[in-house]
Amino acid sequence: MTRATILHVDLDAFFAAVEQRDRPELRGKPVVVGGGGPGDRGVVSAASYEARAFGVHSAMPLRTAAALCPSAVFLPVDGRKYSAASRQVMAILRRFTPRVEQVSIDEAFLDVAGSEALFGEPAEIAVAIKAAIRAELGLTASVGVATSKLVAKVASDLRKPDGLVVVAPGEEAAFLAPLPIQRLWGVGEKTRLSLAEVGVRLIGDLAVVPDDLLRRRFGVNGPVLAARARGIDPSPVEGGHEAKSVSHEHTFDVDTADWEVIERTLLALAEGVAGRLRAGGVRATTIAVKVRDSSFATHTRQRTLPEPTDLTDPIWRTAVDLVRPQVRGIHVRLLGVAARGLTHGEQVTLFPADDERRRRAVEAMDAVRHRYGSRALTRARLLEGRIAEPFERDFSHAPEARRVGKPRPPDVGGRGS
């Protein structure tokens, strides 16, 4: 029988918890992360459990959150701080097993098979992980332990915050059966409504529906959903994947057709992307841009570079060339810049002397920013219009998220559950 060696570790209200940890005066208060104030046009990135008691949740418009919880403290996203805390958490997890699959900034799967001799049974490892995160980082995490990633993830979400749920081998279907169908992977709102039409409202309802009926209604995905409802998920924990892209984006407080503003924003985004590439020791071979207009239509373009780069100027100039024809005659709501095709190794250039001088200057600026903060140095052009320096956003694992509000650094990926 398959053993329960899969752990899903999920940090509790991550962004808000980091803020409450670092600012003791916020502990016990409703905290909403995702904007500079309740009047911003953005959405909630994370809400403390005190704010959730009022009905505030992730992806909710900030204005709605303010109406539900007028006493909430609203804070902008501090991506660098959350990324640093995330790296510390992942380092703790890797003490227990090298098989760690980070799926977002605040959650990861672990396969602890083979680690029992050192750290005890999987449930004991889960307790030790929770204790280490609390003692060393001042944060709490909820953990699910099961035979599969699917069941472990569902388990970790059941007793938040600071929960621990262990599902014994053979109990997967019984554990899932009483839960609402939307907790199952692959069941979004549209699928939930379709399943409701055939009387499926709980996961257990789906588990007993004949495969042929599901296949007729949902195609090949129908039997897959039924297998998941019975707790069957063969996907392994896959650790060690390198980032496939790095991306930053910015949503304007007021849609704009001003080319100067657009160009400055692209420069800020390019500088953030380049900084992240250098920090990761990689270079990009392809630059992509995203433009969303006032009607929410989204346009993307990309271009392969003559040579890989981790410098701001070639990224920015490529982004400008790609964006310019896309913004004619429209008002821009959102801009994004992505670096793709990441590669290691030394950059080969036709102008080594100039490139070396430029690189020494860039590395010196990076060192100053690392020591004195991201705003210790910035380009003069970015001071006009107060477009702040962006920070990293890694899309190698997490789905894309939006940063909205006044001109500030773009958001960092993750959901802050």
Contact 246, 387 (CB under 8 A): no
pLDDT 10s per residue in the chain (417 long)? 578 899 999 999 999 999 999 999 999 999 999 876 777 777 888 999 999 999 999 888 999 999 999 999 999 988 889 989 999 999 999 999 989 998 888 999 999 998 888 899 999 999 999 999 999 999 999 999 999 999 999 999 999 999 999 999 999 999 999 999 989 887 878 888 888 988 899 999 999 988 888 888 888 888 888 899 999 988 899 875 555 778 888 888 788 999 999 999 999 899 888 887 887 678 899 999 999 998 888 899 999 999 999 999 999 999 999 999 999 999 999 999 999 988 865 444 434 434 556 656 665 655 554 444 444 455 555 545 444 333 333 333 333 333 333 333 333 333 345
Q: How far is CA 187 from the centre of its chain?
A: 20
Sign of torsion over alpha carbons 146, 148, 151, 152: positive
| DSSP assignment string, 247-261 | EEEEEEEEEE--HHH
Helical packing angle, 312-323 and 259-280, nearest 10° = 140
Give every CB contact of residue 238 below 8 A, 6+ residues apart in sequence: 101
Quote the pLDDT of residue 398: 32
Dig out the tokens for 162 from the structure.
Answer: 């600071």
- Res 367: pLDDT: 56
Domain boundaries, the chain: 1-168, 179-229, 245-383
179-229: which CATH architecture?
Orthogonal Bundle (1.10)
Q: What is the pLDDT of residue 209?
A: 87
The reported pLDDT for the residue numbered 386 is 43
Tell me the CATH number for domain 245-383.
3.30.1490.100
Q: Is 335 exposed, middle or buried (0-12, 13-18, 19+ CB in 10 A)?
A: buried
Q: Are 185 and 179 a contacting pair, CB within 8 Å?
A: no
> CA 307: distance to chain centroid?
29
186 burial class (0-12, 13-18, 19+ CB within 10 angstroms)? exposed
Catalytic one among 50, 101, 107, 249?
A: 107
Q: List, in order, residues 6 or more apart from 395 with CB less than 8 Å away.
A: 243, 244, 245, 246, 247, 338, 413
| Architecture of the CATH domain 1-168 | 2-Layer Sandwich (3.30)
pLDDT confidence of residue 417: 53
The reported pTM is 0.60
Residue 214 has a pLDDT of 85
- Name the helix (H) or strand (E) containing 9: strand 6-11
Catalytic residue status for 271: no
